[in-house]
């Protein structure tokens, strides 16, 4: 039996280790980590490669690490959660889905998750969206006005928003949600507490060459710098037409024209982000759109069914869980590509994202590590 965790481990830190240890203590089950590969949901290259992060996870509590396809790793919260839960449910051994959040009140989390089934909430949500609010904020306002502060307060924290999406996607399945309250510091905090610091603060420390040993079980030897991708991002954006932009996920209501105008006027990604941003179009949404442009990920591709589980690594416990997966288990990228179809379509973006991420290091890595790096096996 197993507990699934949908994660990024960008990088794997003591807070992640605490979550895995707590999940195992509460359930007595093995852990399957469904982890983003080379780019994160915030629309940024991961701080170090997926193979190192998978190895660190396996050495600190995970038993099996499966890659969350890049196409969905850089999607909005709804699609990110839906893909992760789909992979989790494909393992018949999975009883629980554990996730870190700011609130472990399962009743309030479930009420927030099912709030969109309330027609009154939906009516307020539509009005807020018409008024220019972005979806998470509009939903919070709608829930607060109809269901009250206790439920709405759940939606004010980033990890809770993902938790709500996980619960919504678990509906009708036998997999039980297992919320585990964050310890140490809040999401994106610039402060530390004991041996805990936020992933964003740790990334900053690593990139500024500030010692972060206190907060990580293992320090990555090589890290990425997002600015190293700046020119290829600008090249890609400048080479695209309005029709190209329209095909990207979450580009609607003429947003393609707003982006194109910014691309023509500015020489940096930051300036483009700041110019396009509005109350409705957040920095995170625009960063994801830009990464999708870089990787050639379209709205159509993000609607492609996930039919495989690509294995990054396992230990002896994790290896026994593989036979319970109802999806195509991918242990060889080369063999899987030969099958064609949806598996090849999504895998090709996993490979491309890893090759592009390889350019973000101080000294670019050679390409094709998806073919050259074997499955990590921890004895």
172 and 95 in a common domain:
yes
126 and 95 in a common domain:
no
Residue-level pLDDT at 188? 56
Which residues have CB under 8 Å from 239's CB, separation 6+?
A: none
Q: What is the mean pLDDT of residues 159-168?
A: 91
Residue 85 lies in a domain: yes
Percent of the chain exceeding pLDDT 70 equals 98
**pLDDT above 80 for 148:** yes
Residue-level pLDDT at 190? 60
Number of separate domains in the chain: 3
* Residues 303-354 pLDDT 10s: 999 999 999 999 999 999 999 999 999 999 999 999 999 999 999 999 999 9
Residue-level pLDDT at 189? 56
152 and 177 in a common domain:
no
194: helix, coil or strand? coil
279 and 173 in a common domain:
no
177 and 63 in a common domain:
yes
Q: What is the mean pLDDT of residues 24-45?
A: 97
295 and 311 in a common domain:
no
* Residues 258-290 pLDDT 10s: 999 999 999 999 999 999 998 888 899 999 999
169 and 90 in a common domain:
yes
Q: How confident is the model at residue 133 (pLDDT cuts 50, 70, 90)?
A: confident
> Rounded to two decimals, what is the model's pTM?
0.94
Higher pLDDT, 232 or 189: 232
Domain carrying residue 344: 2-104+161-182+306-378
Residue-level pLDDT at 285? 93
Residue-level pLDDT at 131? 84
266 and 120 in a common domain:
no
Mean pLDDT of the chain: 94
- d(CA 4, CA 145) in angstroms, rounded, equals 34
Residue 216 lies in a domain: no
Residue 256 lies in a domain: yes
* Burial profile 218-248: b = 16 or more Cβ within 10 angstroms, e = fewer: eebeebbebeebeeebbebbeebeeebbebb
165 and 47 in a common domain:
yes
């Amino acid at each position: 039996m197993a507990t699934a965790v949908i994660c990024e481990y960008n990088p794997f830190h003591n807070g992640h280790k605490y979550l895995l240890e707590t999940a195992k203590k509460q359930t007595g089950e093995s852990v399957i980590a469904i982890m983003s590969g080379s780019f994160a949901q915030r629309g940024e290259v991961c701080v170090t490669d997926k193979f190192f992060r998978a190895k660190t996870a396996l050495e600190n509590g995970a038993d099996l690490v499966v890659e969350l396809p890049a196409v969905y790793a850089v999607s909005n919260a709804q699609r990110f959660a839906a893909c992760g839960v789909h992979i989790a449910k494909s393992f018949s051994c999975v009883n629980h889905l554990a996730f870190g959040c700011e609130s472990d009140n399962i009743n309030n989390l479930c009420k927030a998750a099912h709030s969109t089934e309330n027609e009154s909430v939906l009516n307020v949500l539509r009005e807020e969206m018409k008024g220019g609010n972005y979806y998470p904020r509009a939903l919070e306002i709608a829930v607060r006005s109809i269901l009250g502060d206790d439920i709405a307060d759940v939606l004010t924290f980033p990890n809770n928003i993902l938790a709500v999406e996980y619960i919504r996607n678990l509906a009708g399945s036998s997999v039980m949600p297992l919320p585990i309250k964050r310890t140490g510091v809040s999401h994106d905090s610039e402060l530390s507490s004991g041996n805990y610091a936020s992933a964003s603060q740790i990334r900053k420390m690593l990139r500024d060459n500030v010692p972060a040993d206190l907060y990580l079980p293992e320090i990555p030897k090589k890290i990425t710098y997002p600015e190293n991708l700046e020119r290829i991002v600008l090249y890609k954006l400048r080479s695209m037409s309005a029709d190209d932009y329209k095909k990207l996920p979450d580009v609607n209501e003429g947003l393609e024209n707003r982006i194109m105008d910014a691309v023509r006027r500015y020489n940096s990604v930051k300036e483009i982000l700041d110019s396009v941003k509005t109350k409705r179009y957040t920095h995170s949404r625009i960063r994801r759109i830009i990464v999708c442009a870089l990787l050639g990920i379209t709205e159509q591709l993000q609607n492609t069914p996930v039919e495989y589980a690509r294995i990054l690594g396992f230990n002896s416990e994790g290896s026994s869980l593989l036979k319970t997966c109802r999806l195509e288990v991918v242990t060889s990228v080369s063999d899987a590509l030969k099958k064609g179809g949806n598996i090849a379509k999504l895998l090709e973006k996993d490979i491309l994202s890893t090759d592009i991420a390889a350019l973000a290091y101080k000294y670019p890595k050679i390409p094709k590590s998806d073919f050259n790096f074997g499955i990590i096996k921890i004895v």
